[in-house]
Structure 1
Amino acid sequence: MSGVIASSGLRASTKIVGLTKHTKHPHVPSPVAPNFTAPAACTDLSFQPLALAAAVARTATTWDDAPKELLDGLQQSALVELETLLEDGSAFALKSYFKFLADTAGSQFAAKVGAGITHLYMEALGYEWRANAVCLSSSLDPHADFIYDGGNAAGHGVVLAEAHGSFAKDVTAGKITSAARRKYKKQVKPYIKATSTFGEVIHGYSIAFGAKPTVAANFLSVSETRISKPRKKSGATPLGPKEGEPPEGTPTAIVLATHRSNFMLMGVPEVVDWIDWLRATDAVAPEREPVPLLRLQYAGRTYLTSLPWVRRSGAPPWWIEEFFDHPYRWRTARHPHLRASQRQAAGLAWFAIEEKGGTEFLNGLSAVIRSGRRQMSSSFVLPTFDPVGFGFLDADRAAPGVRDEGDRSYNYTQFRDGLALLGDPFRGRARDVVLWSPEGGVSLG
């Protein structure tokens, strides 16, 4: 797993996608969680191409039981396709190359982008943690794609999100709206109030995105659960935190699912192996050797990421001065499968995690490892962050989808759990190396 992608084609203008149709579907009982309030719909979603690329990679790797090597290949292929097929400009449009794709390939690409748009929309609404929804039913029964926690759902339960993408000449607003409604009724509604591995399902969304390959025309339709006004019941004590009260933490199961994908994208397989061991029943414990991580100062922030490989030529000064002779330079040999085009690309993007969020998770993971699988804590208390590189437009800044613009001179995106994709990482400054010990936590190297 590399943690690195070519990004030279992902510097196009910020895209703006408007909400074509928003439909609410009644449900009984309503609300499922008495104190849950759904966030207001996002009427205009803006995002940088790099944010969509990162979202596609995240959704492609949100599979709890899939092998790391398979997920790495899926996210790499998705990003290459996006780089090749996305047109420049403020409107979402496809390049003419799309017409050369076979029907199956075009449909698969549309599905990946639809999943990425869905993830950006859900994060813009304020949801923070995610997992695959395959736990809801057998593979023979249709079910939504993703489960989300955090934001308005924190302490109440989880919400479902079904994703759909369609790129075809005959795509219309009506067809996309119909798809969103149909998939809500079939793949979301049956599971509202169901119990899942990650908590009770209290709300649901079906998000459909479509575009015409020949013109800059796109459509975004959202179907979601309607929430009636809460009914007052004398003597009843509602479950979940009251309005204004912070939840005690995020359930461990969904935190581990989220960070399994995150650290896989970052190219830190050791953390993925420990997460898999914690969730298994008979697996052999991974090696307990310390794992080095680079502290990188970038855009006024500090991130943790995997140590870089050594480039033989064209490397920035800090790369040479601080890592050719670093005691952990052996780490660079652990990426032999990187394609030559990636190693030599002028533009690279790096997955990283905000230092505070990453450190607190790793320390919490070490505490769980020390206590053993049978003593696993029920929740993690972790920081979250405003998104960078995507969110609501300025008129909607009072909503939970407020964007943190960051430093606009940098090409990067950051999600609410702290995962970031740095579009020009060589502009960053390497500070030092920290070590994560599976049992001892994070310390300076």
Structure 2
Amino acid sequence: MKTNIIKLRLPGSLYQRIMTDLKRPHDFAYERVGFIFGVTTTINEYTRLITFNGYQPVDDDDYIKDDSVGACIGSRAIRSAMQRVMDQSCSAFHVHLHNHKGQPKPSGDDIAGLPPVIDSLANIDPDQPHGVLILSKDSFFSWVKVKGEIQLVIPEIISAVRYPMVIQFPSEKKAALNKLLLRQSFLGERSTAIFEHIKVGVVGLGGGGSHLVQQLAHLGIKHFTLFDFDKVEDSNHNRLIGAHFADIKRKLSKTEIARRLILAINPKAEITIVNARWQEATDKLQQCEVAFGGVDTYEDRGQLEAECRRYLIPLIDIGMDVHQTEQGFHISGQVILSMPGQSCMRCLGFINEDKLAMEAAKYGKVGGRPQVVWPNGLLASSAVGIFTDLVTGWSGQQERIVYLAYDGNSGLISNHVRLEYLEPDCDHYTLEQLGPPKFIKL
């Protein structure tokens, strides 16, 4: 069994700030360095997630002129980082940039000089993981010192959570040619490796979620975590992809139907099943790099979004409904990318107090809601397309905000009009809120 699995996640805004700072020229140093700080979440006995929320550049006066290395910093800069570790009981990483494309490797100077810096940070708070993060123009390398471990640990994944994401799996090797995925090679030379390594969560496996897992399996996703507590019934068979008529009598769970569907497409897929509400298995959700939401209520969406924001997990929400009007019935739906650091569902006006209050007043009295299969398929396809661009960047779009509105009567899906009036920043979720919630005794 693997031990000491480390995941590192940087918010997009912090990643951009670090990259901008490290590219600044210095009077005599060949490169700049800094320190980043983060919150550590112990997901389980073996897995730690570090979400970074702070950056401290090294002051110009703290560089020492030494032509034998790219950058030499004085003890004051290191003591300043150590003081922050002491004050905040946080993780700290020395960070610098190798200004090229591709995965960076530690230089001889890095190998000789950086482990003692890590040790200095660990001496202040040995219970926290500390390390070094080396950036390139489009990738990462990291060492992490973990309590009780003699060797420095290389993280399982390092990611900058932005659009598109910057993702590096340090153990990644160039993927062998897969004839099954040959026609999607335009997604980038790393796309197959990304699909094989990335962990994807799907919360809700009904009409929308069942479409999602089918398409993700065809795309080449290997690692799934599936959340649903429901079973197939007469009333949901009409839109549950992968469900057989015989499954109704067997009362088969939606998770088992999804598992069967995925494995029929990709027998090598690795699937974690949660036959419960996601709130009962948050550790499983926190391990996912991207999550899809197919939940039914605004309350559930708000809770899921808050959890994903805490752990820097992009959440792609889909949903549809059928409304009765004076003219008849109208089908509508949405696809929203809730991207940490960008507009949330409250910023977009999709969730608000009036909707929550109205929903609460109807609790237990909603009754049967009309649903059909084709709108879920269209919305799921759009969501999978957004996911693919988010993790591969194949389209070249930058910092895209996604809120798609679907008019099922006309068959049109388009950008929601609210995108034209958005404020640039989200103040509902801040970097200070990253990691497990903190309870203050009053």
Q: Same fold (TM over 0.5)?
A: no
Please, what TM-score do these two structures have when normalized by structure 1? 0.24
Q: TM-score, normalised by structure 2?
A: 0.24
Higher relative contact order (CA 8 A, sep 6+): 1
